[in-house]
Amino acid sequence: MFCVNSLRLAGDGWSDYNSHARMWWGPLPHAVRLGAEMSNDSRDTRLHHQLEDLLVHPGAPIDWNEIATRNPDLVDELRELYGTAQLASALGRTVSWFADSRDEGHFPDGAPLPLLNSHPGFADYEQLVEIGRGGMGVVYRARQRSLNRDVALKMMVRGLFSTSEDFRRFRTEAASAAQLNHPHIVSFYEVGEQGGLPYFSMQLVEGETLAERLSRSPIVPREACEILIPVCRAIGHAHRQGVLHRDLKPSNILLDRAGHPYVSDFGLARIVHERDGGAGPSELAHATTRTGAILGTPGYMAPEQAVGDPRQIGPAADIYSLGSVLFAMVTGRPPFLCASPADAVIMALEHEPPPPRLLNPAIDPDLEMILLKALQKPSDLRYVSADEFADDLRAYLNHEPVQARSSRLADVLSRAFRPTHHVGILRQWGLLWMWHSLVLLVLCLTTNYMQWIDIRSRMPYVALWTVGLGTWGLAFWGLRHRAGPVTFVERQIAHLWAASMASSSMLFLIERLLGLPVLSLSPVLALFAASVFIGKAGVLSGEFYVQAAVMFLCAVPMALYPSVGLAIFGVISALTFLIPGWKFHRELRGRDLVEKP
């Protein structure tokens, strides 16, 4: 039989451990079930003796390599069983705090819920009844004894087994919400700790979440605007206090029985500047924001949140989320419906939301314009502030002209010349583009020199522009591969470049077929280059329209002054690569310096 005493739980037997472990962690691991029901065959006997030997000296270093050499068929199960024994010991030290907990209710991820309902009280609170839970916290309705009032009491989902990141986010939520005082933000009452378990109490909103309301049906557009305007005002107040919510969605907006909205759950909030008397907001902001970490809820997060770079996230991200909430209110669904969160992130980056009136024809055209302005992918094309968003909604309700319909020339130009979210890949191309500018300059000057010394045979030119430029192309691509993985967008740009190289080489054949002297069609090179820059402008950044225009104009002096046409092309095309190459190379170096510890 398996040695029960070796997994003793603070004086309790295996049966006590079994019940507590199931309550806290869900079904026991397969190896543990095997251990509790071992037969007397030789393998199980060896497993039993090996585990007993490990547990005789708890805390002593274990040479798992030696164990794997002696018992290769047992090492994996021994690791699992030994870890479970350590867990049993930890549970034994804390189980008395939850001694009256019953075997009921598990979290979605299998982590345990401290079932406080069975306790007569917790700190200054009693009559605890769970009313909601999320990925980090569980909320109870409770009675505060000292003030004789009902409150909402929030604690951490995993209790004493929460990670340090969980604790940091919990403190961030407390620090963020505590400094906000607005009639449409859930009021904050008290922060405390009991038995090593942090908690805070807040205003109890009797009613339902906006998500629960939407589960029944979409909301009439004008009523939806009436609900969202106070939410926008509340978020505007939070922004003025230096707090970004970063997780606005219907389930984080509460509606009381009169239909008044309240913003809740600042668990992903970021405090963007330190205020007098603050509780270390700079540290808290850093703790909950890491480069590459995607924070928010897919379907409601702004594109800049999906990128995962906290430096790009500002108040405009909350405005996008407010627009997504309004979209869901009037259409009954978020802007993007996807099979998985990853798909929702890709949709937020790559696609535009469907026109709201396509989903609900009852939506007024002015309201559709307001929605689409709030959901602009470029953050500077959205409303400047949440208050401005609210003002436009109020203008719509009052049948006044809305700001969303006014398109200034500056806005049009901004849309045309702005970078896309793919522009970041050019940081890997910066140095290579500077080298490419040098290669182009040398190639063109060499070609012009050959023209000046009156070389009329086509083959030297063909060799220079096909073999020479092709060799550089292969070297360029090889160097790019050494810098890291090549993205799909980079392959698209590479195809454009390869097409222009092939077209340039074909000019020599066309000249021969037409009976033209060599280099007669050289001004067409500038047109090829301009076409490639237009493709880059559409995929990467509108700033490349400038290079495209310059190359189109370059064809004119090349045609007017054919004796120096290639030199003109070489100088201008080299500059079109050198300038952006230097810019993106500096950005890469600056980012590397920032990310160094």
Q: What is the pLDDT of residues 403-447, one digit of tens each?
A: 887 655 566 666 677 777 677 777 778 899 999 999 999 999 999
Taking the alpha carbons at both ends of the chain, their separation in whole angstroms is 53
Structural domain includes residue 111 = no
536 and 496: one domain? yes
What per-residue confidence (pLDDT) applies to 200? 85
Which domain range does residue 146 map to? 116-202
32 and 129: one domain? no
Strand order in the sheet with 207-209: 207-209, 253-256, 261-263
9 and 74: one domain? yes
Of 247, 265, 318, 391, which one is the catalytic site residue?
A: 247
User: Please, where are the H alpha helices in 271-350?
Assistant: 281-287, 303-307, 315-331, 341-350
What per-residue confidence (pLDDT) applies to 121? 62
Structural domain includes residue 442 = yes
169 and 273: one domain? no
492 and 534: one domain? yes
Is residue 247 annotated as a catalytic residue, yes or no?
yes
Q: What is the CATH number of the domain that holds 159?
A: 3.30.200.20
In sequence order, the β-bridge partners of residue 142 are: 151
| Residue type present at position 314 | G
What per-residue confidence (pLDDT) applies to 415? 67
Which of 390, 414, 438 terminates a domain? The answer is 414
- Is pTM, for the whole model, over 0.85? no
275 and 328: one domain? yes
177 and 268: one domain? no
334 and 220: one domain? yes
433 and 462: one domain? yes
Which of 169, 202, 235 terminates a domain? The answer is 202
Please state the domain count of the chain.
Answer: 4
Pull the structure tokens for residue 559: 């045609």
User: Please, where are the H alpha helices in 58-118?
Assistant: 64-70, 75-94
* Cα Rg of the chain, angstroms: 33
> Helix, strand or coil for residue 516?
coil
Nearest-angstrom CA–CA distance, 518 and 106: 79
Nearest-angstrom CA–CA distance, 473 and 495: 11
308 and 347: one domain? yes
- Per the CB < 8 A criterion, the answer to whether 507 and 465 are in contact is no
Pull the structure tokens for residue 507: 């000019």
Pull the structure tokens for residue 56: 């005789």
- Kindly give the confidence (pLDDT) of every residue in the chain, 597 residues in length, as a single tens digit, with 9 standing for 90 and above: 334 333 333 333 333 333 333 333 333 333 333 333 333 345 666 766 676 666 655 556 677 777 877 888 777 677 666 555 554 444 333 333 333 333 333 333 434 444 444 445 677 888 888 888 766 678 889 999 888 999 998 887 665 566 676 777 777 777 777 788 899 999 888 888 777 778 888 999 999 999 999 999 999 999 999 999 999 999 999 999 889 888 899 999 999 999 999 998 887 777 765 443 333 333 333 334 443 344 557 778 888 887 666 667 889 999 999 999 999 999 999 998 877 766 777 777 777 889 999 999 999 999 999 999 999 888 888 999 999 999 999 999 999 989 887 655 566 666 677 777 677 777 778 899 999 999 999 999 999 999 999 998 999 999 999 888 889 888 888 888 887 777 778 888 888 888 998 899 899 999 999 999 999 999 999 999 999 999 998 888 888 999 999 999 999 999 999 999 999 999 999 999 999 999 888 887 776 554 444
Q: Is residue 59 exposed (0-12), middle (13-18) or buried (19+ Cβ within 10 Å)?
A: exposed
Structural domain includes residue 107 = no
Structural domain includes residue 105 = no
Q: Is residue 226 exposed (0-12), middle (13-18) or buried (19+ Cβ within 10 Å)?
A: middle
> In this structure, how many other beta carbons lie within 10 angstroms of the beta carbon of residue 32?
23
Structural domain includes residue 109 = no
Structural domain includes residue 338 = yes
- Per the CB < 8 A criterion, the answer to whether 197 and 116 are in contact is no
Nearest to 370 by CA among 401, 336, 345: 401
Structural domain includes residue 159 = yes
227 and 363: one domain? yes
User: Please, where are the H alpha helices in 57-196?
Assistant: 64-70, 75-94, 164-178
Nearest-angstrom CA–CA distance, 153 and 151: 6
Structural domain includes residue 547 = yes
Nearest-angstrom CA–CA distance, 437 and 577: 5
User: What is the dihedral sign for C-alpha 43, 49, 52, 57?
Assistant: negative
pLDDT, one tens digit per residue, over 203-214 is: 999 999 999 999
Which of 95, 126, 142 terminates a domain? The answer is 95
Pull the structure tokens for residue 510: 């066309």
Residue 274 φ/ψ, nearest 5 degrees:
-80, 135
- Per the CB < 8 A criterion, the answer to whether 318 and 235 are in contact is yes
Q: What is the CATH number of the domain that holds 320?
A: 1.10.510.10
298 and 405: one domain? yes
Nearest-angstrom CA–CA distance, 42 and 26: 30
